[in-house]
Amino acid sequence: MFWLIALLLTVSITLLTWAFAPLLEEKLRAWKAKKEKSVEKELNSLFSGKSPKQITKLYLILPPIFGLLTFLLFQSPLFALVAALSSLFIPNSILKIKNKQRRAKFDKQILDAIMVLSSCLKGGLSFLQALEVLEEELPAPMGEEMGLVIKENKMGSTLEDCLRHLQKKMNINEFTLVVSSILVARETGGDLTKVFSRLATTIRDSRKLMDNIKTLTLQGKMQGMIMSGLPFLFVWWVMTFNPGHFDIMLHSDLGKMLLIAAVFLQIVGMFLISRFSKIRI
């Protein structure tokens, strides 16, 4: 009887798979095409030479690998399923980390870019020629992004629109200030060399202030980390010498309620310390 049921189930699953295979294949192709377009857009913004198909394949390769490894380690189908689903976020997370690193490097090059532009304008070059020099002199990502601005301008877009597009793409406060100052100076006929000089001073002062804030809040962050880890360290230390010390808490309703309250208050305390240690300007 068991073998008959197993045979019927196998035949049913085979027939269903055969019937829905074209539909599933069509859906998979549509999903891959959509994902490749999204990945290609991210890779183009990173000036990466990798193929979108290589990144898209990770969405199909990683889930079975992580699911199988997790099942072999923990012998739990639930953990394997969670690991397989979690691995779907890995390729997107890698792209986001790369993008964040690129934006951080771009932010560090802003002061150098301002000085190069100011020197070029003082030498008698036009603003567009100064951007071309900036493309040649500074390494990636600043040089690459300025090259893209120049190409967009040559294709017909106005220089103002190209700078606004780059500003929106980078979404960096200091660069937003630079672009806004350039656009206002070009519209009102202001002296860009003086504008760049003031911008450089403003950005330096702003970065000094941010460094001072990080230094002053470092003590609070360290205290928060230590206070957050002390309860767990204390529990581990007590259970090392007396494993049954917390049995009354684990086997009574009142003890369980107190443990839940303690964990909740610990989380609230960690959140409050984190919020108090941040200063926004």
CA atoms within 13 A on the CB side of 136: 6
User: What's the pLDDT score for residue 72?
Assistant: 85
CB 153 within 8 A of CB 166: no
User: What's the pLDDT score for residue 105?
Assistant: 93
CB 192 within 8 A of CB 182: yes
Secondary structure of 158-194 in the HEC alphabet? Answer: CHHHHHHHHHHHHCCHHHHHHHHHHHHHHHHCCCHHH
Look at the pTM and tell me if it is higher than 0.75.
no
Instruction: Give the pLDDT confidence of 213-224 residue by residue, as tens digits.
Output: 888 777 777 877
CB 181 within 8 A of CB 117: no
Low-confidence ranges of the chain (pLDDT < 70): 1-25, 27-29, 31-33, 35-36, 39-51, 279-281
For residue 206, what are the contacts with CB-CB under 8 A and spacing of at least 6?
Answer: 174
Give the Cα separation of 164 and 181 in Å (integer).
12
Instruction: Give the pLDDT confidence of 140-193 residue by residue, as tens digits.
Output: 899 889 998 999 998 988 989 999 999 998 889 899 999 999 999 888 888 888
